[in-house]
Amino acid sequence: MKKIFIAVLVGSVALFAACTKKASPAKVVVKTNYNIDIVPLLQARCTPCHLPSQKGFKANFENYESAKKYAADMVTRIQLNPGDKGFMPFKHAKLAEEEIAVFKKWVADGLLEK
C-alpha cells in the first residue's frame, strides 16, 4: 500500500510539474513618441519648410502641440507618391517605408509627446 501511495504521489507531482506553464516575462511595448522618434525625422526630412527656426514658413512641426495637430495630415501626405497632389516632402524623394511606419505608429500609439 505504501508503494502505491508513493507511486501515485510521485506521478501526481510529475503530472503537475509537466502541466504548469512557466510565466513568460511580460513583453515591454515601446510606444512611439514625438520627442524621441518624430523630431529626428522632422529635422532630417522636413527642414527647412516646416521648422520656423530654420526659416520655415509652412505648417509648424517644431513643437509637439503643432505637430500633433497636423499628424493625420502628415501621415496621409507622406504616403502619397511623388507627383500626387499634396505629396510631401515637396520636391524631395519619398520617405522610406520605415520612416512612414514611424509616423503611422506615432498616430496609432496615441500621439505621445514623451
From first to last of its 114 residues, what are the pLDDT tens digits of the chain?
666 645 554 555 555 666 656 666 788 888 999 999 999 999 999 989 998 888 888 999 999 999 999 999 999 999 999 999 999 999 999 999 999 999 999 999 999 999
Domain definitions of the chain by residue range: 34-108
In tens, the pLDDT along 19-37 reads 656 666 788 888 999 999 9
Using N-to-C axis directions, what is the helix angle for 64-79 and 97-108, rounded to 10°?
130
pTM: 0.74
Strand partners, 112: 33
**DSSP H stretches of helix in 20-96:** 39-45, 64-79
